[in-house]
Amino acid sequence: MKPKEIQDLLDFIAKSGLAEVSIETEQCKIAVKRDSTQGQAFPQVHMTHQVQNSATAHTHSLPVHLPTNVKEDEAVSVSSESSYLTIKSPMIGTFYRSSSPDSDNFANIGDTISKGQTVCIIEAMKLFNEIETEITGRIVKILVENATPVEYDQPLFLVDPS
């Protein structure tokens, strides 16, 4: 599976509220299980894939943030979410909300942003890339936790353009 397909699958599972999912294809086997003892779950995703011309399988465990509960004040309804614009990651890397741990965040919920403004940094191969928005509006939701890995085209922020 491609990283984008896996991320879409994980997003679907997070929204569905399922406690455990297992999917198996010819190329890989994916099992996602939530830890129901915590308010926020950091389930383990076990991916097994066959190496071509080899009978050995390799298993990778990746921590993935899937919320088990959503607070009402953080919830964005599906109908209103469609009216928001999304700032997406232009690359694979690590997402940072500020330039250093003791600096202010580039953008927070409720902030008004304008085209060309830096909203985050994505570190890729020891290079820190400032991500500038092409959107003008107000940030209504930050979809990624600070210092977590992001994929290409992964949604980072929801912006109300009005």
27/59 Cα distance (integer angstroms): 12
Same domain, 82 and 53: no
Q: What is the pLDDT of residue 112?
A: 96
- Closest by CA position to 14, among listed 40, 38, 46: 40
17/66 Cα distance (integer angstroms): 9
Inside any domain, residue 73 = no
Inside any domain, residue 9 = yes
- Pick from 43, 67, 91: which residue ends a domain? 67
Inside any domain, residue 72 = no
Q: How many domains does the chain have?
A: 2
Per-residue pLDDT of the chain (162 residues; tens, 9 = 90+): 666 777 777 777 766 666 677 777 766 677 776 655 444 444 445 455 444 444 444 444 444 444 444 443 444 444 455 689 999 999 999 999 999 999 999 999 999 999 999 999 999 998 999 999 999 999 999 999 999 999 999 999 999 998
Inside any domain, residue 152 = yes
Same domain, 41 and 93: no
Same domain, 50 and 99: no
Same domain, 117 and 154: yes
Same domain, 148 and 86: yes
CB–CB of 122/129 below 8 Å? Answer: yes
Residue 43 domain boundaries: 3-67
